[in-house]
A and B are shown apart, each in its own frame.
Chain A
Amino acid sequence: MSPDKAERGHIDSRAELLTCVGVSKIFGGLTAVSDVSFSIPHNSIVSVIGPNGAGKTTFFNMLTGLYKPSVGRISFLGKDVTGTRPDIITRMGVARTFQNIRLFGTMTALENVLVGQHARMKAGIIGSIVRTPAVRREEVRVREVGREILAFVGMPESSFDQLAINLSYGDQRRVEIARALASEPKLLLLDEPTAGMNPNESDRLTDLMRKLRDERDLSILLIEHDMKVVMGVSERVTVLDHGTKIAEGDPVAVRANPAVVEAYLGKQG
């Protein structure tokens, strides 16, 4: 947690929003992520791509605290967050969505977004029982904010009180992004957000990502298989294969990189 820890890892973290140095994750005999160094600048959209099983989601899970890196350090906003609990990392300003949507199915769209605001709320046990004026005000405020966020991601007003399991696939993706945004993140991690979407829907999502970066002043880290989305929206692309970083750079350079072509075409072709 202490800043000198971060310095021992030789992380120049003040310039970047998030920095990883030499991060590895080993499950038993399997090295899922191996010695990846990586950083995310303020106010940017960067992508991680790679074939299936390249370790992208494992990498994500380390950034959000679900996994503890076996080796290496991660720092966020200049603070060492290696092995910090997921809820604390969220409180610090990292929010995420999941590859296979993980909304709370029996809660409404709005309630899901309210859970996202949990870390920004104060109501305790006694306050909630007595319903003090402060708790009442907070409850009114988070509901307003929740509605705003749902409208921002493009949900129609009529769907706010709809249970999450009733929503269409695209809407569920949107609510999941809204829920993540509700925690007021400085870094938003999107794990294959366009999976299962038609081209029209992915276009709208791409627009939304740009809008988020420009209007909400946050950075987005994207895992994505749809190359059109990745190449269109990212400022920088990192390629993982078998857990190691094989290329990094702007989309055009990465696309031309022979190692990347081999990793993809070698598998597919």
Chain B
Amino acid sequence: MAIASPAQSTPQPKRYSLEGGIPPKVSKALFLALAVFAIVLPFLMDPISSFLSDIIIALAFVIMALGLNVVVGFAGLLDLGYVAFFAIGAYAVGWFASGFFVDANVHIAVSGFVLNLPGIHANFLIVLVVSMVLCMIGGVLIGLPTLRLRGDYIAIVTLAFGEIIRVFAVNGDQISLPFGDAKLTAGRQGITPVDQVQLPFLDQFTQLNLRPWYWLVLALVFITLFVVIRLRDSRLGRAWIAIREDEVAAASMGVPLVKTKLAAYAVGAAIGGVSGAFQASYLNTVNADQFAFSFSIFVLAMIILGGLGSVWGVVFGALLLSFINSYLIPDVLRTVPEKVGLDFELTDLGFGIFGFLLLIVMVLRPEGLLPEKRRQIELTEGVGTGESTFEVNK
């Protein structure tokens, strides 16, 4: 970490570096090994084991967390309403890949018995694109009112946006659409079932064989990783760091603030939509109760725990928290309160446990478990906290 020139005898001020950590060759080999392991993993377990199901959910959360990390970690815009994109992505499946609109009879690139069902039934890949487009529009909509705001105020507006989407989802069964007697959503009742995914080269996607689901979500994780890493190391990625550290200087160097921030919102939203669409298909329901505020906080906790801005930290944080939530607490530690003579369900304490974990991490390692070097320096040096008020024209 510290690079001290050997000839110096006087004490030098602390020097920072982005180098260090694992050498690139080793990390590449490590990544390849992990990727191969991840691909063959389902052969090592029962195709309907609940542990495989936990892994699938965890990977879906990895995608979510990587998307939120673009907004919060890369561009430095605190977003407390990320659940909105989970909802929009899920409703893309509910609307365009289920029998929800009973009056419609549209089938696009699907085969089998689905052809005989009423409603709109589009292939999962098409729904994926639709959900990304819808989420990008949502991302820009949430971005626009926050552009004149900073820090905590952005957080409040995004929080409100998440709540607006949730309220629409809950009460959507009262909102009639202009065609037939279609409603906007099915509210708390949920849109279920939704179409099973149909993809070439993979077995049938059913609840009796989770392997195709696993490989699908794994492929989506790899694509998301590729996209966020490429963007991080691009012209846009540099512009995000620049506005995160000093908006005034960034604007004065020719970085358009509005466009750059909206790009972060749009990319983050699209990735959230991918995960939302996948989870809706996998869970086989689109239910308004899924879109609670606590979901946004859960994903945010993942990226803070793992290391804000750090791609691998975020992957790690998402896997860790998701496993604690869906495996460790309900399966492994469930009997602990009973054993010590207490009478309560450990799952009720889920958020208490996450809060406690986060608190410990914040005290011992505030930059996260696998921190991003730049963020670490910003945290210790107070870079990017300078005064930054100026009149943004228009």
Listed in ascending order, the chain A residues whose CB lies under 8 Å from chain B are 61, 64-68, 83-88, 90-91, 95-96, 98, 102-108, 111, 114-116, 118-121, 123-125, 128-129, 131, 135, 139, 163, 165-166, 179-180, 183
SS class, residues of chain B in contact with chain A: helix
Contact A86:B251 (CB < 8 A) given known A105-B383, A106-B377: yes
B141 at the interface (CB under 8 A from A): no
Instruction: A166 to B4: give the CA distance in the assembly, Å.
Output: 11
**Are A67's CB and B230's CB within 8 A?**
no
B384 at the interface (CB under 8 A from A): yes
- B374 contact set on A, CB distance < 8 A: 106-107
Chain B residue at minimal CB-CB distance from A113: B253
Report the stretch among B318-326, B356-364, B385-393 that lies at the interface: B385-393
Instruction: A195 to B390: give the CA distance in the assembly, Å.
Output: 23
**Are B393's CB and A84's CB within 8 A?**
yes
- B392 contact set on A, CB distance < 8 A: 85
B394 at the interface (CB under 8 A from A): yes
Find A85's partner among B16, B230, B242, B256 (CB 8 Å cutoff). Answer: B256
Instruction: A135 to B231: give the CA distance in the assembly, Å.
Output: 12
Chain A residue at minimal CB-CB distance from B232: A128
A13 nearest CB across to chain B (Å):
20
- B17 contact set on A, CB distance < 8 A: 163, 166
Find A66's partner among B227, B241, B242, B390 (CB 8 Å cutoff). Answer: B390
Find A61's partner among B226, B237, B241, B390 (CB 8 Å cutoff). Answer: B390
Find B227's partner among A68, A103, A129, A183 (CB 8 Å cutoff). Answer: A129
B263 at the interface (CB under 8 A from A): yes
**Are B381's CB and A165's CB within 8 A?**
yes
Chain A residue at minimal CB-CB distance from B15: A166
- A163 contact set on B, CB distance < 8 A: 16-18, 377
**Are A118's CB and B253's CB within 8 A?**
yes
Give the total of B residues in contact with A, Cβ under 8 Å. 43
- B257 contact set on A, CB distance < 8 A: 87
B236 at the interface (CB under 8 A from A): yes
- A115 contact set on B, CB distance < 8 A: 238-239, 242, 250, 253, 255
**Are B234's CB and A128's CB within 8 A?**
yes
B213 nearest CB across to chain A (Å):
25
**Are B235's CB and A85's CB within 8 A?**
no
Instruction: A66 to B392: give the CA distance in the assembly, Å.
Output: 7
- B226 contact set on A, CB distance < 8 A: 129
- A116 contact set on B, CB distance < 8 A: 253-254
**Are B256's CB and A107's CB within 8 A?**
no
B203 at the interface (CB under 8 A from A): no
**Are A96's CB and B252's CB within 8 A?**
yes
**CB-defined A-B contacts under 8 Å, sample of 8:** A61-B390, A68-B393, A83-B393, A104-B241, A115-B238, A118-B235, A120-B254, A165-B383
B378 at the interface (CB under 8 A from A): yes
Contact A128:B235 (CB < 8 A) given known A68-B391, A87-B256, A90-B252: yes
**Are A104's CB and B246's CB within 8 A?**
yes
